[in-house]
Structure 1
Amino acid sequence: MKQFEFFGKQLSRRQLLTGSAALGGVLLAGGLTGCGGKAQASAMRDIGFWHLLSGGDGIKMQAMINNANQANSGFKVHPTVLAWGPPYYTKLAMASAGGRPPEVAIMHASRVPGYAPGGLIDPWDLDLLAEHGVSGENFAPRIWEKSQQNGKVFSIALDSHPFVMFYNTDIASKAGVLAGNGQLQEVASPQEFMAIAREMQKVTQAHGLSFGYLGSGSQMWRLFYTLYKQHGADMELIPGQPMKVDRDAAIESLEFMASLFDGTIAAKAGDIGTGIAEFARGGSGMLFSGVWELPTLKNAGLPVDAATIPTLYGTPASYADSHSFVLPRQLNVDDAKRRDVYKFVSDVLKGSLSWAEAGHIPAYQPVVQSQAYRDLTPQIHYANAADIIAYDPEAWFSGSGSDWQTYFAENVQNVLLGRDKAAAGWDAFEHRTNTLLSRPNPV
């Protein structure tokens, strides 16, 4: 019987189909969608909304949900928060396959290519979106392009959340690496970046840069893919074909990453939490991380600024993804609820200035172009990342929180620790990717 790989597990066709229906029923029997008898007993329509946002992001999202609920008397959105990564995407796929999904959900834009072809999410009606004042013209070109599959729009981006460089302005000033505008000097090569890091290390007496990576494939991939795309290189993952990649650019990117962990520029090893803590206590002058860390750094009272990762290889590029709204497939679409979802999403997009306060770049351009957004610092200093976004190469197995990023860690972590050569680590990862490309999309 034909075998499929589903989130790292081997399943037969019969197991996949049976499991989809059974697990979908089990997951939703407990009322995960937040729907049920209430909708029949009241004139107010209940809208189930799944998302994977926790911590500060979860608090901000709940506030936006509350605002939408208060502004609309005809419906009430009931959020369900599920664990980030494979657990969330597995449950969402099973819920859609089992016929009991929520009315709307959040999905990373990079994961949409794995779901749209299998009919697990429905396309958006652009005319209905336009009735609520939302159109493609309201989004940066790269973000709007990413929302589409085969000419149809399958996701509506709330944001872009790039991988950026935070820096301590006090340390940078003492190191003499601030430009006349008070922002970090521009650098245009790996050597120039390392020189600035070493100047900061002289001030901190610890490290110039913090970057925790141990055990986190997503963290390693974000920096690697930024550097790889800065080479002007592309990467294509076409089912049934070997990975199309610029091997030299990949190896050079890994070699540069490994060179940072020399005990002076950056610690030889450490996880994400360790890296953030070091930067927060002034043990380094710079931090590579996602924009979502901004509230934590501000709460620590740091004199912090931020910018996109410096262009070290000639082509501006910044790894990023987008939290996007999707319409899980409904066996029987309730037209009234579907219209409510469009209104809810439009309200959240238009009210996404608060989302920007959490560090994210709103996808809805009228917010980004407002004076209120321009007054946000350091957010305005990396807003240009939306124009140089590098989304993951499209495949059913790629994207944020995917097992593919875990496989990257399995093959690359020893390179960063100095135990393996970059070429060996990359070739092993490429071989693992080609194995995935030889298999069909299980969903």
Structure 2
Amino acid sequence: MKRFLLTGMMLLSMTALIFAGGQQQGGTQPSGGSTPAVSVNEDGTVNNPEDVVVDPNKLVFWSLFAGGDGAWMDRIIADYNATGPTRQVQSVMLVWADYYTKFGTAVAARRGPDIGVSHISRLPELVEQGMVIAVDDYAAKAGVSWNDFAPAMVEGITFNGKKYAIPLDTHAEIMYANLDKIKAAGIPLTNNQLSIANAAEFKAILEKLKSTLQSGETVIALSQQGDDPYRVWWATYFQMGGTPLVNAAGTQVTLDQAIAIRAADYIKSLWTDGYILPGIEDHQRFFQDGHAALSYCGTWATGVFGETKGLNFVGQPYPRLFGTNDACWADAHVFVIPTKQARNAANTQAAVDFSFWAASKGGATWAQSGQIPSHIPVQSSPAFTALPYRSGYSRAASTAVLPSKNVNFGAIKDSIIQNLNTFWANQTTSTAAIQNIISEMNAIIKR
């Protein structure tokens, strides 16, 4: 099982969850939305959400927040339930790797939850398959003003003139720096951040750090497989001037092969030049434990890092290494209302009411996890601006390159990750990996 970053708050939530499961298989859940479950993983997730005993008087919310941010969503749910809403909310946290499979299976059988979460990159697929409903009328009654969300975010949830989600956040891949190791290497900071204008300046910093680290430490903490090296490749590709992966109509692959290969080669060089230890599985934990000078991680790690005793760090936008733009990878979480066999209008309204409350009233709490709230008034609120680190990287929400709005993006992303994994593992060349990606993308969009 993948290890996840755990806060003290999440550990308490897990303890309550396990206690509830051991004491009563069909009783009420602990306060704050925790879920009675017969089997709970070490990170608080459940493998079989369909087996969780739910309170019929509450709205069931399925989430995928198991990366350190689930504890803050638990707090939002507890705060919402304390307001005395028409329907309280009960949370079930699924294993991230299984989330969309479990969600799709349950919704296809019309036995899904009352509220779900989707990445905005997966929303086109859910809308195309009829798994989520339009929320326009319910959002209006909940008091949603779409002008309080960035135009790009509103466009991303709109299909055929209808809106299918309530935006929650933008979460970007940024860079974290261990300030103690930066200081030990004699590297100056500007406004408490590393000043990096191009790849040459970055390499000079990496060399200084490499010369001062101890055995078992790494300059950059980064996993060698999966989402995170893919996210770094994404940022590099678009900083190098890469074109969109597919055209706007989704009918033609427009990925620039030459730039995609150059980007992959650059990322691979970080290992071959000795800046990343090979074989790191949990790079977030590696940085959290003080074994790395730098790390590329998602914004969701900020809250956990901030609660880690003895970790003196700063978060800053992904560095500009190529070209003149600050492109980085990002996605967004949105609340969705799944299609159900018997959709009660009052329950649907209550589900949208919660979703908007969580994005607006709960936005400052959600920001404590490290995410960048989608609700613009939250971004300018004292509660947000007073949080450490966030203001240093919040501009990533506007410089990030979001995934293509394409019904096939999930399959496209899987192809990119799987083929890049073979290159990171020295099983193929960068050219062969990218050529295979393009071939598979062509097959995906034409099927």
1:316 matched to 2:348? The reply is no
Distance apart, 1:30 and its partner CA? 4.8
Q: Which amino acid aligns with 2:301?
A: E
Partners of 1:74 and 1:282 in 2: how far apart? 46
177, 182, 188: which one aligns with 1:167 = 177
Q: 1:124 is matched with which residue?
A: 135
1:301 to 1:148, Cα distance in 2 relative to 1, 3 A: farther
Q: Which has the higher strand share?
A: 1
AA at the equivalent of 2:404: P
Q: How far apart are 1:170 and its partner, in Å?
A: 2.2
**Alpha-carbon deviations, 1:243-273, whole Å to 9, x = none?**
2111122111111101111353222x12341
The alignment partner of 2:334 has SS state of: strand
- Report the equivalent of 1:374: 385
Q: Quick one: distance in 2 between partners of 1:209 and 1:153?
A: 44
1:427 aligned residue (428, 431, 435): 435
| Contact kept in structure 2, 1:212 and 1:270, CA below 8 Å | no
**CA RMSD across the alignment:** 2.4
1:256 matched to 2:263: no
Give 4+ residue runs of structure 1 displaced > 6 Å after superposition: none
Residue aligned with 1:56, SS: coil
Structure 2 counterpart of 1:69: 81
CA spacing shift, 1:98–1:322, aligned 2, 3 Å: same
Match of 1:301 among 287, 296, 310: 310
Cα distance, 1:319 vs structure 2: 0.7
CA distance in 2, matches of 1:170, 1:55: 25
> Match of 2:288?
280
Tell me, yes or no, if the aligned pair for 1:222 and 1:319 is still in contact at 8 Å: yes
TM-score by length of 2: 0.81
Structure 1 residue 107 displacement after superposition: 1.0
Question: How far did 1:398 drift?
Answer: 2.5
Compute the TM-score of the two structures, normalised by the length of structure 1. 0.82
Question: Post-superposition shift, 1:300?
Answer: 4.2
Q: Give CA-to-partner distance per residue, 1:334-357, whole Å, 9 cap, x none.
A: 121112112211221221212111
Cα 1:29–1:336 change in 2 (3 A) is same
Unpaired runs of 5+ residues, structure 1, are: 1-26, 40-45
Structure 2 CA distance for aligned equivalents of residues 53 and 171 of structure 1: 30
Report the equivalent of 1:203: 212
CA, structure 1 residues 141+208, in 2 after alignment: closer, same or farther (shift >3 Å)?
A: farther
* 8 Å CA contact retained: 1:291, 1:360: yes
Q: What displacement does 1:380 show?
A: 1.3
Give the whole-Å Cα distance in 2 for the aligned partners of 1:270 and 1:381. 30
Residue among 392, 401, 405 paired with 2:403: 392
Q: 1:357 aligns to what?
A: 368
TM-aligned CA deviation for residue 316 of structure 1: 1.7
1:115 positional shift: 1.2
Query: How far is 1:241 from its partner?
Result: 4.3
Structure 1: which amino acid aligns with 2:415? Y
Distance 2:210 2:309 in 1: 21
For structure 2, which runs of at least 5 residues remain unmatched after alignment? 1-47
Distance 1:231 1:151, change over 3 A: farther
Partner of 1:338: 348
1: distance between equivalents of 2:181 and 2:85? 51
Percent sequence identity over aligned pairs: 27
